[in-house]
């Protein structure tokens, strides 16, 4: 297959396939079992695991649910599928940062409180920079 071949799998699809295969086998589940529980065709899961096709977020969410992934595993799957960057995944793994982001984006947070929280963030970043981070 040439690099211009549209049927060629991308590195991220191949990484996703290997990751899904590993997670499925670690849980002792057969492809057919996962496909049935995720309500997808068995050949679809087979092609995903072999890196021969991409996947929609909806289908990937169903597969992750069937595999009962922990937070880190699910984020790794989303990165491998190209739905998240590695930086975003690291951010989402930190519960305190995720909580802060939810507060800052919540319409129920009073504007003056959001301003104060952002001031704390600015101060924390200035401190980190002063420490050489």
Residue 59 pLDDT more than 60?
yes
More confident residue, 52 or 29: 29
Query: Does 6 map to a domain?
Result: no
The reply to whether 5 falls in a domain is: no
80 and 99 together in one domain:
no
Summarised one tens digit per residue, pLDDT across range 3-34 is 333 334 445 556 999 999 999 999 999 999 99
Is residue 22 located within the same domain as residue 61? Answer: yes
Residue 28: give the domain boundaries: 11-84
Q: Name the domain count of the chain.
A: 2
Q: Are 78 and 60 in contact (CB under 8 A)?
A: yes
In a domain, 119, yes or no: yes
15 and 80 belong to one structural domain? yes
Mean pLDDT, range 84-110, rounded to an integer: 94
Q: What's the Cα-to-Cα distance from 49 to each of 27, 32, 65, 83, 113, rounded to whole Å?
A: 15, 12, 16, 17, 46
Asked if pLDDT for residue 112 goes beyond 80, the answer is yes
């Amino acid at each position: 297959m040439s690099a211009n071949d549209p049927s060629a799998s991308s590195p991220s699809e191949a990484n996703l396939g290997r990751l899904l295969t590993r997670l499925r086998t670690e849980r002792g589940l057969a492809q057919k079992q996962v496909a049935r529980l995720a309500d997808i065709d068995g050949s679809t899961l087979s092609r995903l695991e072999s890196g021969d096709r991409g996947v929609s977020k909806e289908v990937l969410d169903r597969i992750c649910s069937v595999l009962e992934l922990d937070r880190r595993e699910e984020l790794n799957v989303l990165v491998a599928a190209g739905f998240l960057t590695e930086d975003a995944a690291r951010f989402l793994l930190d519960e305190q940062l995720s909580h802060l982001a939810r507060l800052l984006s919540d319409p129920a947070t009073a504007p003056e409180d959001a301003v104060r929280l952002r001031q704390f963030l600015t101060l924390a970043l200035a401190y980190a920079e002063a420490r050489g981070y």
